Amino acid sequence: MRYHVEGRGPAFFMVPGLDGTALLFYRQIPRLAPIFRVVSFPLPDDATSTMNSLVNDLFTVVQQVSPDEPVLLCGESFGGALSLSFALAHPECLKGLVILNSFPRVRQSIQIRVGPPLLKLMPWGAMPLVRRFTESKMHTSHTRPEDLAEFHERSRAIGRTGYIRRLEILQSYDIRDRLPEIAVPTLFLAADQDHLVAAVEEARTMASRMPHASVQVLEDFGHICLINHDFDLRATIEPWLSERGI
């Protein structure tokens, strides 16, 4: 798998969301790089992926970058689901998890089942227009125009096949019963203005079932907050890292 490494220090993997490009971490990577070796990688743009195969892909990268030391994973939305699945399969590889605006299963079962067939019929070139109509679910009012412009430009790189396949994977994704097995220290970050996922409720539910998990609410942020000019992931997680001795 292709991957990008920036910075020095302990390995900190940033696992992309449904977009799968890893291009939306552009604002956070320079902030993290002074203290971490930040690893980012795109998810495969193919129709054969499964959650298990994505876990195996991630394991391959972890073994290449940090074969002897456990790592930190930071997963956003779908990337959070992938990171939690990785924790169930390879707990020995982890020193901690940071899960942002994610879920143990998708509640909107009708939307997640209708979405892939509709996207297969729709011209992919229409997606930038669709994203502009759904901005209210993804962003908040204080997201700057230049942040949104950068988001839309980078979103052009999203591959159709992989995006649809990841939606299909979520149709059967459900780890609610296995959450107590995840014993690695976990910080759930949940935006209180997330109108795509009930992020705060989902985070609190997951944390209540895991032995070493805590929740931090991100006030006045939406589902896609890593692109925001006033969101600093490093500053947000540093107190938790210090408290946990990570």
Q: Is the pTM of this model over 0.85?
A: yes
| Assigned token pair, 181 | 């097995």
pLDDT means over runs of 10, the chain (246 residues): 92 96 96 97 96 98 96 98 98 98 86 78 76 71 86 91 95 96 98 93 98 96 93 97 92
DSSP 118: H
pLDDT at 123: 82
Q: Domain count of the chain?
A: 1
Residue 76 host element (H or E): strand 71-76
Q: Measured between alpha carbons, how far is 148 from 80 in angstroms, rounded to an integer? A: 22
**Which range marks the domain in which residue 31 is found?**
4-244
Q: What is the CATH number of the domain that holds 30?
A: 3.40.50.1820
Q: Measure the CA dihedral 177/78/196/200, to 10°.
A: 50
Contact 115, 217 (CB under 8 A): no
Instruction: Assign 20 to helix, strand or coil.
Output: coil
Q: Measured between alpha carbons, how far is 47 from 38 in angstroms, rounded to an integer? A: 28
